[in-house]
Amino acid sequence: MTLDLTTFILQILNFLVLLWLLHRFVYGPLRAAIAKRQADAQAVEAAYQAKLDALEQERLALQQQRAGIQAERQQAEAALAEDMARERSSRLNALEKELLAARERGATKLEAQLAEREARSSQQLQKQVDTVLRQHLQRLANPALETVLLNRFIDDAQQLAPEQINELRQLPWSDPVDIGTAFPVAADQQGRILTALSGLSGQPVRANWKQEARLLAGIRIGLDGREIEFGLNSALRLLPELISRETDTQATP
């Protein structure tokens, strides 16, 4: 078998043409597709990493915010305790000196004046405690706390005794019922509140929702001539009475 130079050259040309065709229509598009897929994968990975970084930054910010709130609360509690202790110590020292002087003189009138002054000092101390607690609760009021209070209100409404439910059903329920909250309420929670109120009234309840900042965090339900309020504002109104009761209990031997 002899090697024909013409055939050999033609075979080489065919091979070169084949290589060109493969490079033009197979390898080139294939490499482009692979490069595009790699670029898309890198873009997806970069976006995912960016989301992870953003979430991590948000988590760190929330941790710092929580730590700041905790530190602020501890500082406020420590300052309140220190002020109360200092004020109590100062008042007691002054009262003790005046009481000794009254006993030396044997003046019953002076002892009565000291008792009145002690009562006035106790009232002033109660007002100071009330002011500090009001400021502290106003800083803590937020939509998350109101959501917790609304959930508690719904749970309490569903656990009322039958006699309490009968008393509520005797009340005149307006249509629609005025419902006030300190912050906007989500639609699903509005539905749960209306379901709980319908169970209390014994009939479907429609609501006229209002936003009332004075509530701080909580809910107010307005009936015909009566109101049901559950939240920080109502608790603050009861605070002086509770402090007075606790003071009277401690003062009783």
Query: For position 182, what pLDDT does the model report?
Result: 83
Residue 227 lies in a domain: yes
Q: What's residue 243's pLDDT? A: 56
Enclosing H/E stretch for 158: helix 143-158
Q: What is the number of structural domains in the chain?
A: 2
Read off the pLDDT of residues 93-144 as tens digits, 9 standing for 90 and up: 887 888 777 777 765 776 677 777 777 776 776 677 667 666 666 677 688 8
**Do residues 196 and 135 share a domain?**
no
Q: Is the pTM of this model over 0.75?
A: no
Residue 172 domain-assigned? yes
Note if the bond before 176 is cis, omega within 30 degrees: yes
The answer as to whether 58 is a domain residue is no
Choosing from 92, 122, 140, the residue where a domain stops is: 140
pLDDT mean values, one per 10 residues, the chain (253 residues):
74 86 78 84 86 88 87 85 84 81 70 72 70 68 81 85 84 81 87 86 85 83 77 70 56 52
Regarding whether 178 and 150 lie in a shared domain, the answer is: yes
Residues 98 and 170 both lie in one domain: no
Q: In what order do the strands lie in the sheet with 218-222?
A: 207-211, 177-181, 218-222, 227-231
* CB-CB contact of 212 with 232 (8 Å): no
CA–CA separation, 204 and 198 (whole Å): 5
Can you give the three-state secondary structure of 57-82, one letter per residue?
A: HHHHHHHHHHHHHHHHHHHHHHHHHH
45 assigned to some structural domain: no
Beta strands in the chain (DSSP E): 177-181, 207-211, 218-222, 227-231
Range of the domain at 136: 81-103+110-140
The reply to whether 149 and 235 lie within a common domain is: yes
Residue pointed to by tokens 């002899």: 2
Structure token pair of residue 168: 């509520």
Residue 120 shares a structural domain with residue 171: no
The residue type at 7: T
Whole-angstrom distance, CA of residue 155 vs CA of residue 145: 15
Q: Is residue 134 one of the residues assigned to a domain?
A: yes
Domain for residue 14, yes or no?
no
**CATH number of the domain residue 185 falls in:** 3.30.360
Q: Tell me which of 90, 118, 140 is where a domain ends.
A: 140
Burial letters for 226-239: b for 16+ Cβ neighbours within 10 Å, e otherwise? Answer: eebbbbbbbbeeeb
Residues written for the chain: 253
In a domain, 182, yes or no: yes
Distance CA 170, CA 156 (A): 19
Q: Is residue 114 part of a domain?
A: yes
